[in-house]
Amino acid sequence: MSGTNESESLRFNEPGRFHTTVQCDGCGQCIHVAGDMITFDSSEVFCYLYRQPETPEEVERLKNLELECPMRALRDKADELS
């Protein structure tokens, strides 16, 4: 049996640098801070990026959320490439 890859990106994410993964449990913490980029799916089971950051301030907000996400489900592809 193949297990779930915890870094697997949710297919709902807008393609780009940041994404959420199947580890997301839908706690909603990130949406309080970045509701202008992240939203719940229609069942509110998980969240995804519907828009990528466009300014340095928006990137910084997502970088902080990446550290604060309890499930480590918000990822920055720039980290994976370094």
**Residue from the set 20, 49, 53, 62 that interacts with ligand SF4 by CB under 6 A:** 20
Distance CA(17)–CA(31), nearest Å, equals 18
**Residue from the set 10, 22, 59, 71 that interacts with ligand SF4 by CB under 6 A:** 71
**Residue from the set 13, 18, 30, 61 that interacts with ligand SF4 by CB under 6 A:** 30
Number of residues that bind ligand SF4 (CB under 6 A): 14
Chain positions contacting ligand SF4, by CB under 6 A: 20, 24-30, 47, 69-71, 73-74
